[in-house]
């Protein structure tokens, strides 16, 4: 069993991003990411801080817009509109979740598709569907990057994704499919779940339930990619897979923390670099 080290993969990708950002700068093109946060959600603050640090590390200018909890949808849309036409800004990211009174869908749809580095805009999700894209959602893109880094073959393999969210499950299935995997998507209504997951050569768990994937759900020698970020009864950070009991059945497994997590922000930086490169072509 080998543990997939997300930190090592992330460091290698960030090194490449840093060199490319530097090369653009030498050509006179700075790269900029605008990050918007509304309200005081502590988890969101941590994420935004990590994104800022990531930008610093690779030489991307980060512009932070921290707005009060009572910001209206209209005020937020005005800011996004301004950033859409700001040439210093290559990427715009609006940290989710937004306060309940703000219309999330309208906000996501107002970000210019060519600056939508989260790849949540319907235009970008459509491009992913047909396999002709500039940006990929950060978590699924990071997972593909990790599999490639470890030389794990996707082509022809049985791939099972547990979870069908728009942020992870659905795009993950699309990317595995584009890499010639045979893909099954499971969810809360799937019958005989363990029977389906036991077929998987590559099992991606994106459920959001601590220790949901148990040994009886995993085929011997499978690759288990754990997207979960949960707290167990003791308050300790853990994934969707029961790591201690599942690991010995796997050929590869991602730990939590230190697996998929580090890749998510790295792929956001990668999308911002792509946006910047696209802007130099215009």
Query: Per-residue pLDDT for 282 more than 70?
Result: no
Short-list 89, 82, 27, CA closest to 281: 27
Q: Check residue 212 and report its DSSP letter.
A: -
Residue 281 has a pLDDT of 75
Q: Which one, of 117, 120, 125, lies nearest residue 107 by Cα?
A: 120
Ranges of CATH 3.40.50.720 domains, the chain: 138-261
- pLDDT tens for each residue of 161-216: 999 999 999 999 999 999 999 999 999 999 999 999 999 999 999 999 999 999 99
Q: How many residues does the chain have?
A: 282
| Fold of the domain built from segment(s) 138-261 | Rossmann fold (3.40.50)
Average pLDDT over residues 243-272: 96
Q: Which residue spans of the chain are classified as CATH 3.40.50.10860?
A: 28-112
Contacts with 200 (C-beta within 8 Å, 6 or more apart), sequence order: 158, 159, 160, 184, 218, 219, 222
CA distance 68 to 64: 13
pTM comes to 0.94
Q: Where are the beta strands (DSSP E) in 28-146?
A: 32-38, 61-67, 91-94
φ and ψ at residue 34, rounded to 5 degrees: -100, 125
Q: In what order do the strands lie in the sheet with 61-67?
A: 61-67, 32-38, 91-94
- Residues with a known catalytic role: 51, 95, 118
Q: Which pLDDT score, from 0 to 100, does residue 232 have?
A: 85
CATH topology of domain 28-112: Rossmann fold (3.40.50)
91-110 mean pLDDT? 96
What is the token pair recorded at 72? 């209206």
Cα separation, 188 vs 236, whole angstroms = 25
Number of other residues whose CB lies within 10 A of the CB of residue 142: 28
Let me know: does 159 contact 201? Beta carbons within 8 Å: yes
């Amino acid at each position: 069993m080998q543990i997939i080290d997300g930190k090592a993969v992330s460091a290698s990708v960030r090194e490449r991003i840093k060199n490319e950002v530097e090369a653009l700068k030498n050509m006179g093109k700075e790269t900029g990411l605008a990050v918007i946060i509304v309200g005081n959600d502590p988890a969101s603050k941590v994420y935004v801080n990590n994104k800022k640090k990531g930008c610093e590390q690779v030489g991307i200018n980060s512009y932070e817009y921290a707005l009060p909890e009572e910001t209206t949808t209209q005020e937020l849309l005005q800011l996004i509109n301004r950033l859409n036409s700001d040439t210093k800004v290559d990427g715009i990211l609006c940290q989710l979740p937004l306060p309940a009174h703000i219309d999330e869908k309208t906000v996501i749809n107002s970000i210019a598709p060519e600056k939508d580095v989260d790849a949540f805009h319907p235009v970008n999700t459509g491009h992913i569907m047909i396999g002709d894209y500039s940006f990929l959602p950060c978590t699924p893109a990071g997972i593909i990057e990790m599999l490639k880094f470890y030389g794990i073959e996707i082509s022809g393999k049985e791939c099972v994704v547990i979870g069908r969210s728009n942020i992870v499950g659905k795009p993950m299935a699309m990317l595995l499919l584009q890499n010639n995997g045979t893909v099954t998507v499971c969810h809360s209504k799937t019958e005989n779940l363990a029977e389906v997951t036991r077929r998987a050569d590559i099992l991606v768990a994106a459920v959001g339930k601590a220790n949901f994937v148990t040994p009886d759900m995993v085929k011997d020698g499978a690759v288990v990619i754990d997207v979960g970020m949960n707290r167990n009864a003791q308050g300790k950070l853990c994934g969707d897979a029961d790591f201690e009991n599942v690991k010995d059945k796997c050929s590869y497994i991602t730990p939590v923390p230190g697996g998929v997590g580090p890749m998510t922000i790295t792929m956001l930086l990668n999308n911002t670099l792509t946006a910047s490169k696209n802007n130099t072509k215009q």
